[in-house]
Structure 1
Amino acid sequence: MDTTQHPNTTLPGHAPLPFDATLLFKALQYQLLVAVEHCYDLAPDECLWLEVLGDVTVPGKSQTEVKHYTDNLTDSHANFWNTLKNWLHENFDRTSFKSLVLLTTQEFGAQTLLKGWNTATPAERLSIMESIVASSQASAGNKAKKESEAGEVISKPSKSQSLQQYVMTLDRRGALMEVLERMHITTGAESLEQRLKTYETRHLKPIRPSKYQQFIYELLGFMCSPELVIKGWKITHQAFTDKLSELTHRYMKHPKTFPPVDMAALKKSVDVEEIRPMPFAQKITEIGGEQYLKRAALHRVVAQTTISDLYTDGVLFKPMVDLYLSNHLTQHQYGRDAAMLGCTGVTCSTQLSTRSMMFFLERNGLPAEPFCGLEHTMPEFRNGIYHMLAGEKPEDEDDEFHWRLW
């Protein structure tokens, strides 16, 4: 894995700091996305390794080095020569792979001899490399001569020249030919932003649009989870398939289970003083339920947010929601009528308030009816429906939602 040399943007008025690791994390995300695409192609008996044998490795199949760079891939670029050096390591089993791939966002430089690499034979590839090295050595020799004539200290070989010397050493020629037989260069690969967009288009059609980012975040989180990293960063076909199934089940356009709700985030948005004047809050306060206002407000937000999100994603239609609201209003009214019968003859306001609070708590504690057929509908959502109903003013006052039993 590698990264671009220059960030596209910096903080206003500030130069990039030498310890800014933003690009490192961007490169890691890019590598994970490349790995995700490889995971889609895994057969049931295959797995993928990250970093252990190189950037992205499918044993017995391919090993891919991933470069997220902005400059051109030139003859002397370290990305080319360093990748070859890695594949020449004595412990790297080159012959176990069908292909060795250098995948980079870079385009070929205008004058590079590497342009015809993928169509060249192994012998032709070696000839290309020998031409590059010969040119590099000639330039280095001319530079050394000028420095010597000027009485200057002769410069040490550049990083690129050192890499070239290592790769082209005759002792490694057999290993180099094994690499050249398998090596492919993919240039002009999509940027991180483009790759994310392509992933959405290609793989997320069954997913609700508002959940695209969440789906990708959780999938990338799985790809670099501590559990996988600690165990060697191996991702099996089964593990990847299971994670895809889980995320698809949770975020699909027509879900079977109730969508997850970030209760902690919604709770922060609740302001009791702001909701206190609202009709639903007043109907709780009038039976002595002041202590339950914040919880009721949270449940109301849960219901409103969930319905709004499902509307946005085209999962819900108004008649479906209206029917659910109507059913709960009817059930509540019958439940309230029964509770009021139990209060016949009770005139003490304290007792009526107490019984009303008991009715409130009992209703809020009932099992939740599935919302539009969604399994595991949250009781918090159903309670939020109660509070939404309590906030409405119907044309017929007999249809108004109340908690009081008088």
Structure 2
Amino acid sequence: MSGGQTKNAALTTAFAFHYQVLIGLDKCFSLEEAQSVWFEKDGDVSLIAPDAVASTQTEVKDYATPLTDHHENLWKTLKNWLAPEFNHTQYGVLVLHTTQAFGATTRLKDWNEQSVEQRLAVLQAIFAERTDEQLNTKKPSEIIKIQKAVMACDEALLKSVLDKVALFTVADNAQALEKQILAKPVGIPKNNLSSYLHGLVGFVYSQATQQSWSISQQAFAEKCEELTALLCKKEFTFPVFSGYEASELEVELHQDRPFVQKIAEIDHHEMIPDAVGNWLELQNSLLEQLDEYPLYKDKTVTYQNQLVRKYKLAYSSAQLEAIDAIKSSKLLYNKTMQEQPLNMGNDIPPIEYKNGLIHDAMDDDERDLKWRVEP
């Protein structure tokens, strides 16, 4: 079906473009003062420096098939670099960055170690394999058209370009590249690294305008500092508690839990939605994948034990003063819920966190806690 093919083609294009962005992002980490990374300026990714010798133009290709003598990847890239509209003098290095490995028998394997004369000789030998019939047919294949265009160029121009060409093969795929990028930041917790990457990728995309798309060394450094300050390891902080009030469905779902039954036992039914809401917020906070989770869990256990000890003392006092069991029980409940939280080191926890822990303790049969005051 054509609809599926169009969608798949669009996805393939999108993934290829995202890979190009990741390559550019990776280059941003090596930028020096006054340098910048450009996208779609003279090709895929350009590193522009005040000195042309230090500038590089990179064509990014993600292929599964090997890089062989007649593969279109190298030949098409050479054709683009030889085009009149491309000014190769702006760059000291022209890089073909490809995920491909060299083919088993290709003559391109030693390219990066060869002189310009040797490189030209390799291309000439490869092109010489084409027969007159292949070259002169009315409808030559696309790769033959490209090869003819390359080899028909002025030899001086061809040698000038070939002298700058570097082949970077078996390049990391997108997943490996992301992992490589995430190894660069220092001081950011593991669970925050994904947010760091997303922040940088979003920053790169946001720099595109209708006129140009570039990232300067200064702008990139400032963004890295901003994200590091935001996501680096800070002093322990609590998850957000909003004072959630449980819905009728949630109350019904949890109505048989011991902590709910103990509130119903003292005829304090109107307090149940808030109690279930506090309990749910606590449970959800303990399920969150926080970087500080081990510390949060340990602090929570310690804090709950403190609250239970304090509650037992308050319950004993309520027993001594009790005349009416239900009234005394409701007063104990209200006083306990309204009390400001105990300090946890230098922090004052959210009151919903404190109350959620009390309800959680009431839900623990082994603690044998209750609201009903028996005179």
Specify the TM-score bucket, using the shorter chain as the normaliser: 0.7 to 0.9
Residue 207 of structure 2 is aligned to residue 228 of structure 1: yes
CA contact (8 A) 1:250 1:257 kept: no
Q: Paired residue for 2:64, among 70, 90, 103? A: 70
In structure 2, the gaps of 5 or more residues are 50-54
Residue 258 of structure 1 contacts residue 376 of structure 1 at CA under 8 Å; is this kept in 2? no
- Aligned counterparts of 1:192 and 1:262: Cα–Cα separation in 2: 37
- CA distance in 1 between counterparts of 2:90 and 2:135 reads 42
Give the structure 2 partner of residue 150 of structure 1. Answer: none
Indicate the SS of the match to 1:203: coil
Deviations 1:331-366 (A, max 9, x none): 7778x78x979xx89969689859955863x45xx6
Seen in structure 2, the aligned counterparts of structure 1 residues 81 and 256 have a Cα distance that, compared at 3 Å, is: farther
The reply on whether 1:276 has 2:255 as its aligned counterpart is yes
Which AA in structure 2 matches 1:229?
A
Which residue does 1:151 correspond to in 2?
none
Matched letter for residue 220 of structure 1: V
Could you list the per-position Cα deviations for residues 303-322 of structure 1 after superposition, in whole angstroms to 9, with x for gaps in the alignment?
312488644xxx52865443
Name 1:98's counterpart in structure 2. 92
- SS of 1:290 mapped into structure 2: helix
Q: TM-score, normalized by length of structure 2?
A: 0.73
Aligned residues: 357
Does 1:189 find its partner at 2:189?
no
For the structure 1 residues 345 and 260, does the alpha-carbon distance in structure 2 shift closer, same or farther, using more than 3 Å as the test? closer
Structure 1 residues 391 and 235, CA gap change in structure 2 (3 angstroms) = farther
For 1:52 and 1:368, locate their aligned partners in 2 and report how far apart those are by CA, in whole Å.
60
1:203 paired residue number: 184
Superposed CA deviations along residues 171-229 of structure 1, whole A, max 9, x for unmatched, are: 5x5544442232110111123343344455x33775544555454444434433xx323
Written as runs of structure 1 = structure 2, the 5 A alignment for 1:5-404 is 17-20=5-8, 21-60=10-49, 61-135=55-129, 138-139=130-131, 141-143=132-134, 154-170=137-153, 173-199=155-181, 202-203=183-184, 206-224=187-205, 227-230=206-209, 232-248=212-228, 254-256=233-235, 258=237, 271-282=250-261, 287=268, 288-292=270-274, 295-306=277-288, 310-311=292-293, 315-316=294-295, 320-329=299-308, 360=337, 362=338, 381=353, 384-393=356-365, 395=367, 400=369
Q: 1:109 Cα shift?
A: 1.8
Matched position secondary structure for 1:166:
helix
Give the share of equivalent positions with the same residue, in percent.
27
* Residue aligned with 1:75, SS: coil
Report deviation, 1:35: 2.4
Query: C-alpha separation between the residues in 2 aligned to 1:190 and 1:321?
Result: 43
The answer to whether the 8 Å contact 1:299/1:383 transfers is: no
Give the distance between the partners of 1:46 and 1:403, measured in 2 at CA: 72
Deviation at 1:158, TM superposition (A): 1.7
* Alignment check: 8 A CA contact 2:326 2:372 kept: no
- Give, as a single letter, the amino acid of the residue that structure 2 aligns with 1:76: H
> Any conservation in 2 of the 1:390–1:401 contact (CA below 8 Å)?
yes
What is the TM-score of this pair, normalised by structure 1? Answer: 0.68
Give 1:67 shift.
Answer: 0.9
Bigger drift between 386-395 and 56-65 goes to 386-395
Q: Deviations over 1:70-129 (max 9, x none)?
A: 001122222112222333344434222232111111111223222221112223323322
Tell which deviates more after alignment, 157-166 or 63-72. 157-166
Amino acid at match of 1:133: F
Q: Please, which runs of 5 or more residues in structure 1 have no aligned partner?
A: 1-15, 146-153
1:64 deviation in Å?
1.4
Q: Distance between the aligned counterparts of 1:259 and 1:49, measured in 2?
A: 41
- Aligned residue in 2 for 1:7: none
Alignment RMSD (CA, Å): 4.5
